[in-house]
Structure 1
Amino acid sequence: MAANPAQMAQLAQLLTQTVAGNMEAMRGAEQQLRAAEVQPGFGLVLLELLRSGSVDASARQAGAIYFKNYIKRQWCVEGAGGGISSSDRQAIKQHILSLMLQAPKQVQVQLSAGLEEISITDYPAEWQSLLPEMVQHLKTSQDMAVLKGTMQTAHTVFLKFRAQARSEDLLREVKYTVTGFQETHLAVFTATCTRVLGGLPADQLVAHFELLLATIGAFFSLNVIDLPEFFEDHREEYFRGFLELLKFQHEAVAGQGQQGLLEQVKGAICECFVLYAEKYQEEFMPFLLRCVQEVWTLLVGLDQQEKNDQLVAKGIQFLSSTAATQWPQSPFEDPNVLSGICEKVVFPNVLLRDSDVELFEDNPLEYVRRDMEAADQETRRRSSMDLVKAMGRVNEAKVTEILIGYVKALMEKASQAAAGQAERFKDACIFLCIAMAVREQTQREGVTATNQNVNVLDFFSSLVVPELTSEPLSQRPVLRASCLKFVTVFRNQLPREQISQLLPAICKHITAESAVVHTYAAICIEKLLRVKDKTPQGQVAPRYDPVSMKGPLLQMVQPILQIIAASKGIPMNEYLMRTVARIFAFLKQQGAETGLAMLGPLSAILIAMAANPSNPVFNHNLFEAVASIVKVCVPTQPDTVENTLLPPFGQILERNVVDFLPYTFQIMGLLLDASPSVKPLYTQLFARLLTPELWRAQANVPGLIRLLRAYFTKHACFAELLRSNMQAILERFQFVLMNRKTEVAALDLLNAMYQYLPIEFYQQFLKTLITVLLTRLQSSKSPKFKRDFVVSCSLCIHKNQSVIALFNEIQAGLLSNLLLNVWPAVLKMPLRTDERKVCVMALAKLFSVEELRQNTPLVGACSLGLIHLLGLASSGKTKQNGEEGSDEELENGAGQEYEVSFNKLRNTDLPGAAAGLAPDVPDLHSAAKASLKPLGPVLLQLAAATPELQPLAVFLQ
């Protein structure tokens, strides 16, 4: 792996410039590096630079970061899309592990991230040298740094097993890994445990605990899918080591203020206990009592220091898992044990500490994330809540009785305590009420089942309502926040009339000085507006009426935007901005007038944030708020909306604000859809939209496609522009298709083209398009790509029946082969209503082709798919993906694996766009009957001989 010295020197100079601080030089160096990285050999030169000790440390560090990002950008790009050549890929995989193990710490971290990225797609099938190389290092090396680095690499590579759905391919990968790694893993674990427990000098303990942490992490990953026979046979060695390590104490590895290696290792052991308790009860049974006893002893012995928080949470999680599981001899059936756990574990971990109150005041964002967000499981309080729920499944009445006793005692203490202490006692009462009452809960729907032994409404009336309606708002902020949380948690259970009465008081809390209080008020409102009830007709409708709630809701908007503009409390408060978006999405036309007035302040916030867009979740909610107003206002006042938004959007495009471009493209698509007269900006912008640089940024791709879709819908205005650029559009399609991370988005572009453009615009390219798609279909491992391929082809056939002949022009019998081997599996997948419509209509057209209609196995297989698509199975209508919950979450989940997280905005389609791919098919069953009627005799004859097809025969009669 030798590199030209001149190349190395030039590369080092460019890398140094990327961190030099001169913005112009940085941009120039970045552009040159981006141009160079698509050339063969670039990655190898970069690795050689990282290996060289003569290169300046800052250049090596910059090079390591660039290498990581280069791998993220280019490793998944294939074929015509560019990417990394096959020979370079092999060389990088050959050298990266050994280079990483020799590199300085700062470089090692970045190389490890690059190695992980490669392993996600290539290990083990396309990187079979990695596992033997790691095993060889672990077996032969005496260097603790090499042992530790190799095991950390193994742990990182095996992490992928935790995130994937169970499948035959995954089972094969795990089996290959376990078979090659198991004996070495056990040898490293037992040797390290023996040395640590035998009394190592303090200066050696840190490295050994780092090795242990990675080894235990790898244990979890190798056991997470199934219990391998080797690990089952050697349970005793592993669990003996785990239990001894739980008892181990040494200040050299204990945390000082923050969590240390000792706490991390014990937490990782608790996670392994949870895994076995939940998945492998029979094999875990011999260790159950010992593990429960040791974890109980551990928890009781830990103090209230923050360094222990995650360990306490994981230990409690293990007790929750064992309490929730039926065991032949469960330690949790004893009422004395339940009382002891409540007293020694639950109660000490629900009272707020001084450090919690300091967090509330000094770091409100962290407090909100720990306390309110359901995704955070590693807090003392949340784990205690889970433990109460788990014990309640064993003996709900007894646990409730114990905790209600605590609540009464706390309320009595609160009546006699000083104000600050009383506030904490009442806060703990609210927390215990939530812990006792909640039995089933989801992040989206909220609480769906409660403990009937707890009177939630009484608690609401006696404690929550008086607190939230009291003045001034500055009093007892911690308790106010907890009361707002109570309303948020029990939003489904609290009656509409009482919430409607309390609504003005909740909304008023948006003006509270405390950042946590006004944030909780915003979260409460946002969640309340999402509550839905079933109507007598069985449909789902919002519980609250926009007309009656309009006043208090709209009064919140301006104070929220003022808080954000002034950066009061939590800068770039994503929760407040999400509430603005939800208010306008909920009110729709009721909020149009205020919304139009708020576009100006929102535009000012956009421009201010564009200077430093550092919070992606806030950015998403900001654009969602803009989009929710635009969707309502643009159909009736397009010029006003465009005149307000096009100037800031023009600045974003001119400055190339990377984080904002994906959203800007989406909203511009909505503006163009609604615009009665096309502004010159759209024509001027079109050429830039097709520049390869924009499409290389994966986050831009879906937004660019949304905007192109708007051009397609207005093809009469842009006919010449579209015709002259169709070749370039299809080149962008192919580029996106060749990247595994964006291949599905490529089909969105095709679908927009099929749906909105006359076929004359692209007919000359169709055969090439289909050929490219078929090539990708052969190489893609993604079931979603197969699904989207079938939907896209179905849309094309539905819109233009003449394209059917093209398939067999490409290859004789091609269409029959696809309909037999690709179509049937996809037709049984969950599909949206509009996708099912185009698939059914396309099949009707395909069956009209004589060659296909006479192929009995083909018609039979696709007819079974028709039964599924039409919901004719005996179990009733098949629930399809996208049938319910059209009110998508305004959450912070990223889309697919885009560099700058791409989030699809909810409000970038005009009203009435829900028909999706099939606006010409209002009723699927009626259209299907009409289209299949000419084929009735063929299908009825086939159904007579095939019992599985009887539902289709009944449908057609």
Structure 2
Amino acid sequence: MTIQKTAHGTPERQKQRVSDCALSARRNAKKLFPLRVHTGDLERLKSVICDALRLYFYKYQEEIQPWVYFAVHAVWFAVRQLDSRTRFDMLLAAAADCLSAAAATEWEMRTLPDSFASAAVSLGLPEAQVQELQQKRLRGPANPFQEEALLRDILEGVIVPNIALRDKDLELLEDSPMEFVRRDVEGFPACPHLPRRACVSDLIKGMCRLQQQQLQQLLLQLVQQLAGQADAAGGGATERGARLVDSAVFVMAAVASRALHSGAAAAAASPTELAAFFTTHVARELQQQQQQERKCLAVAAALKFLATFRAQLPISLLCESLPLVSALLLSPHEALRAYAAFCMHRLLACRNSQGQRLIDPSSCQPILLKSLSFLRQSLSDVKARENEFAVKALARLLLCLGAAAASESLPLLQLLLQQIKAEASQPGNPVYCHYLFECLAVICRLASDQTRTNAASAEAGASCLQQQHLVEEHVVPVLSVLIQQSQHEFTPYCFQILGVLLEGASRTGTIGSSRLYVDLLEHLLQPHVWVASQGNVPALVRLVSVFLRQLQQQGYHQPQQQQQQQQIQVLLHGRVAQLLERMQFCIYHRKLAAAGFDLLNAIFRFLPFEAYKQLLPTLLTVLLKRAHQLQQQTFNAHLSFSLLLFQCRSPDITALPCGLEQLQQGLLQQVVCAIALPSVQHSLESGCSLSKKKVFMVGLARLAAAAAAAAAEPQLLHKMLQTMETLLSGYDFGSDLLPFVAAAAATERADRRAAAGTDFDPDDDVSWSPATTAAGTAALSGVSAWRYGGFARSAARVAASLAAYDPAEQAARATSQGYVSREQLGVKSTTAGEKGGGKEEGEHAACSMHAVRRKEDGTDYAAAQVRRGQRQSMLLAFPPLGPKESEAIRYRLTIGERGSF
């Protein structure tokens, strides 16, 4: 660089002097740093050789099999001479991968070529040494890793020198404690942020694949050796003792985690041995932390071990350790506060095989409340900002305590809102922001749940209702400001928390008592809110669905509430076109199509048909056009479900068939045959819930009864009846079933509602009410009365199965209300058989109707209820058909460009 800068306008003699100085500096650099430059090149060469050997061990095992013994010993010999300097990390990693590849293969003895000895001598190896190597190879096993001597050599020469933390590894702990904790807890015990430990961890995993029992016994001996050395060095009170404790915990975690994952050698590190190791060598680091100062590394090792093996340690030991972990939440060391919060979250989140918490919140409530107070104090510290582990533990504590945390809710709420405003002004850690909003959502949900639980008591209900209003007064203004400031990172969280508050107000019947929600609804329907970010759309759909649900809400007694309820109804009825435009925006976006159909289903469920009757042709045009453009099974499945749901909910069963035929003659047959029936079959094959089966069954029945095209097309009617019969096939409605299944089905529905966070079951689209079932049965009986007698058997069988879903009282009530007559069913089915299919089909239809009549007699009502509960439990066991994730293409779309409504 100096020569280049002085090249222009410089005398020739000065150029020569500069060149001489540069050459002299280069020679002096070689003299001053001979090892660093030369050794680095040699290490790169050795690393390349190790990589080449690794490829041979993986892919060309036949070619390298005679040389395995020499290759393994050569790699081990090269690694054991390395010291702790950083420039050897690359070679150690390559050598560890090479040894892991060799240890993962079962080698056999092969004869060496005749030219081996002469080639080795020509490369400078003494002949006596070559003969000695050959004799050792012949005396030993075919697989060199079966020799205990080699395993001990690798243990002492590779593993032991590289598990101890170096000064360079601990620099990050001093400079940035939170970053060190993040890297440490994410990969423990693999430790990807520590190069030497990562190599050792990979080597242990590779060697344990075939030599698991033998190696684990050696490693357990090493653990005891390291623990004894740590005790002799003073444990966590000294720097050397703390590093030895950390090394012992690392080796024990590596051995136990490998044994637990494989299962073959779980006895090598049993829960009893884990508990004994923790009690003898690790727990005292937590216990003595109160009396005297311990090194951060030793206490962190104890917390990591407790969090990693929480499921294997005894519950009594976990409960005894919980106060010690709680006290560390206020440790002066920032890293220890993070480790303690991480451990607290893991302990509280752990469950046994029955789904029960290992730590019972009711028995440990005083300790948990004290931990909640400690976390609030820790988060109040300005120096402890952006500790995502503390906020995550706070959310877990609130969920575990529930109503018991009511005394801390308002102070925590104010603290969280302050932190959210600080993060909004200067965004930092996104994970920390995420858990801040999660804690906020938990507090909002607990307030609404407590209000609903204590609704029976007047005093408690009023107090809880007042607390819910306080939560709304604190939260809503902050979220409104974030939405108005267009904080796109936080806007989806704001909408989701507003949805939690809105659902809570909906449960308690206070949604109509505030002008706030009316103003919120007007803002939600604005196009720019939906177009700003696709992350807003799922929360917006949820909010709009809650508002739509209010159209069926009853029980408002105060004049102000009734007035607000009427305003919401008027606003929604007047914004139907805007709702459909938002739906159109979603379905024309590849990643938001599922959310668009959720909004459409909410419109079909809660809005009266008259509100969107005039827009039905345009709606069908938009949906079918998009289906024709995409030609995707996932989109067709959503479309079929929505259309059949509309057919179930619509008071006019001819609206959908007539609407399709008005668009184009024969379109009904195309939609049913090309979209609806294949989608129903695909959903059945993939497994769908009972609620979807209800929608498919009743929707197809009403469609078949109302479709004039079905009467004119025998094949279409035949396919629809076959699909309906498939929906009900495979279930024996007359078998004796266990009585506990009805309770299991009810519990499953309650769990599904609790998971959704609402009393409303989003999948419960069609209930088996008397009107719905009897109408479907009457529709199918009408189908069987058509002149196509060949379909009488299928129609009667489906009608009988559909009617068999209801208990006797519901069928009797349906008959008394005039929905369907049993005599009409029997006469029509028999008449249809006599007209079209002959005596045999008529007798079969009459037998099916006789089964319906026996069902309606109510002779075994209790057994019918049990059978119905068992069927629900069996059908709900199938997972629902989930949306297939589409390709990640950003599809910008404005309402004005695609607006069709």
Mark yes or no: TM-score above 0.5: yes
Please tell me whether residue 684 in structure 1 is matched to residue 532 in structure 2.
no
Q: 2:762 aligns with which of 916, 922, 947?
A: 916
Compute the TM-score of the two structures, normalised by the length of structure 2. Answer: 0.63
Distance 2:693 2:85 in 1: 56
Query: Letter of the aligned partner of 1:403 in structure 2?
Result: L
Tell me the CA shift for residue 437 of structure 1: 1.1
Please tell me whether residue 713 in structure 1 is matched to residue 549 in structure 2.
yes
Q: 1:626 aligns with which of 428, 440, 444?
A: 440
Distance 2:695 2:75 in 1: 57
Q: 2:326 aligns with which of 491, 497, 507?
A: 507
Please tell me whether residue 350 in structure 1 is matched to residue 166 in structure 2.
no
Query: Letter of the aligned partner of 1:709 in structure 2?
Result: S
- Return closer, same or farther for 1:429/1:869 CA change in 2, 3 Å cut-off: farther
Please tell me whether residue 812 in structure 1 is matched to residue 631 in structure 2.
no
Residue 352 of structure 2 corresponds to 533
Please tell me whether residue 764 in structure 1 is matched to residue 614 in structure 2.
yes
Residue 461 of structure 1 corresponds to 279
Which has the larger Rg? Answer: 2
Residue 451 of structure 1 corresponds to 266
Count of paired positions: 654
Distance 1:626 1:499 in 2: 28
Q: 1:654 aligns with which of 484, 495, 499?
A: 484
Report the 3-state secondary structure (helix = DSSP H, G, I; strand = E; otherwise coil) of the residue aligned with 1:354.
Answer: coil
1:362-401 correspondence to structure 2 within 5 Å: 362-374=175-187, 378-379=192-193, 380=195, 381-382=197-198, 384-401=200-217
- Bigger mean CA offset, 369-378 vs 845-854: 845-854
Distance 2:215 2:750 in 1: 39
Distance 1:348 1:785 in 2: 58
- Bigger mean CA offset, 600-609 vs 750-759: 750-759
Distance 2:361 2:580 in 1: 45
Distance 1:869 1:592 in 2: 48
Tell me the CA shift for residue 625 of structure 1: 0.5
Please tell me whether residue 673 in structure 1 is matched to residue 503 in structure 2.
yes
1:171-250 correspondence to structure 2 within 5 Å: none
1:927-946 correspondence to structure 2 within 5 Å: 938=794
- Return closer, same or farther for 1:731/1:795 CA change in 2, 3 Å cut-off: same
- Return closer, same or farther for 1:793/1:440 CA change in 2, 3 Å cut-off: farther
Tell me the CA shift for residue 721 of structure 1: 1.5
Maintained 8 Å contact 2:99/2:203: yes
1:273-352 correspondence to structure 2 within 5 Å: 286=63, 304=84, 316=96, 320=100, 323-324=103-104, 332-352=145-165
Maintained 8 Å contact 1:827/1:868: no
1:784-799 correspondence to structure 2 within 5 Å: 784-799=634-649
Residue 9 of structure 2 corresponds to none
Residue 876 of structure 2 corresponds to none
Distance 1:251 1:778 in 2: 66
- Return closer, same or farther for 1:586/1:812 CA change in 2, 3 Å cut-off: same
1:801-880 correspondence to structure 2 within 5 Å: 802=653, 804-805=656-657, 806-807=659-660, 809-810=662-663, 811-813=667-669, 814-829=671-686, 831=688, 838-839=695-696, 842=699, 851=710, 855-856=717-718, 859-860=721-722
Q: 1:421 aligns with which of 237, 240, 243?
A: 240
Tell me the CA shift for residue 706 of structure 1: 2.0
Tell me the CA shift for residue 698 of structure 1: 1.6
Tell me the CA shift for residue 628 of structure 1: 0.9
Distance 1:621 1:817 in 2: 46
Matched-pair identity in % = 27
Please tell me whether residue 561 in structure 1 is matched to residue 371 in structure 2.
no
Distance 2:423 2:605 in 1: 36
Tell me the CA shift for residue 795 of structure 1: 4.0
Tell me the CA shift for residue 623 of structure 1: 0.8
What CA deviation, in whole Å up to 9, does each residue of 1:395-439 have, x standing for no partner? 222111211221122123223336110111111111111111123
Query: Letter of the aligned partner of 1:682 in structure 2?
Result: Y
Report the 3-state secondary structure (helix = DSSP H, G, I; strand = E; otherwise coil) of the residue aligned with 1:541.
Answer: coil
Distance 1:265 1:580 in 2: 47
Distance 1:410 1:401 in 2: 14
Maintained 8 Å contact 1:712/1:752: yes
Report the 3-state secondary structure (helix = DSSP H, G, I; strand = E; otherwise coil) of the residue aligned with 2:192.
Answer: coil
Query: Letter of the aligned partner of 1:647 in structure 2?
Result: P
Query: Letter of the aligned partner of 1:464 in structure 2?
Result: V
Distance 2:351 2:621 in 1: 47
Maintained 8 Å contact 1:323/1:391: yes
Distance 1:403 1:437 in 2: 10
Distance 1:690 1:264 in 2: 66
Report the 3-state secondary structure (helix = DSSP H, G, I; strand = E; otherwise coil) of the residue aligned with 1:542.
Answer: coil
Distance 1:656 1:871 in 2: 56
Tell me the CA shift for residue 869 of structure 1: 11
Distance 1:828 1:265 in 2: 52
Q: 1:593 aligns with which of 391, 407, 411?
A: 407
Tell me the CA shift for residue 734 of structure 1: 1.8
Q: 2:535 aligns with which of 699, 708, 724?
A: 699
Q: 1:775 aligns with which of 604, 625, 628?
A: 625
Distance 1:500 1:395 in 2: 37
- Return closer, same or farther for 1:525/1:758 CA change in 2, 3 Å cut-off: farther
Residue 424 of structure 2 corresponds to 610
CA RMSD of aligned residues (A): 4.8
- Bigger mean CA offset, 775-784 vs 669-678: 775-784
- Return closer, same or farther for 1:463/1:768 CA change in 2, 3 Å cut-off: farther
Please tell me whether residue 544 in structure 1 is matched to residue 362 in structure 2.
no
Maintained 8 Å contact 1:314/1:378: no
Tell me the CA shift for residue 561 of structure 1: 3.4
Tell me the CA shift for residue 458 of structure 1: 0.9
Residue 135 of structure 2 corresponds to none
What CA deviation, in whole Å up to 9, does each residue of 1:885-918 have, x standing for no partner? 9999xxxxxxxxxxxxxxxxx99964535x3321
Query: Letter of the aligned partner of 1:467 in structure 2?
Result: E
Maintained 8 Å contact 1:565/1:605: no
Q: 1:740 aligns with which of 551, 570, 590?
A: 590
- Return closer, same or farther for 1:405/1:609 CA change in 2, 3 Å cut-off: same
Instruction: Structure 2: give runs of 5+ residues left out of the alignment.
Output: 1-34, 109-141, 452-464, 552-564, 735-740, 742-746, 782-791, 802-839, 842-867, 873-901
- Return closer, same or farther for 1:460/1:869 CA change in 2, 3 Å cut-off: farther
- Return closer, same or farther for 1:264/1:467 CA change in 2, 3 Å cut-off: same
Distance 1:775 1:692 in 2: 22
What CA deviation, in whole Å up to 9, does each residue of 1:196-236 have, x standing for no partner? xxxxxxxxxxxxxxxxxxxxxxxxxxxxxxxxxxxxxxxxx
- Return closer, same or farther for 1:496/1:751 CA change in 2, 3 Å cut-off: farther
- Return closer, same or farther for 1:401/1:745 CA change in 2, 3 Å cut-off: same
Distance 1:358 1:766 in 2: 67
Distance 2:78 2:758 in 1: 58
Report the 3-state secondary structure (helix = DSSP H, G, I; strand = E; otherwise coil) of the residue aligned with 2:170.
Answer: helix
Distance 1:265 1:597 in 2: 58
Maintained 8 Å contact 2:325/2:340: yes
Distance 2:81 2:629 in 1: 56
What CA deviation, in whole Å up to 9, does each residue of 1:339-370 have, x standing for no partner? 34433443333221112222223222332232
Tell me the CA shift for residue 331 of structure 1: 5.5
Q: 1:471 aligns with which of 289, 305, 310?
A: 289
Residue 581 of structure 1 corresponds to 395
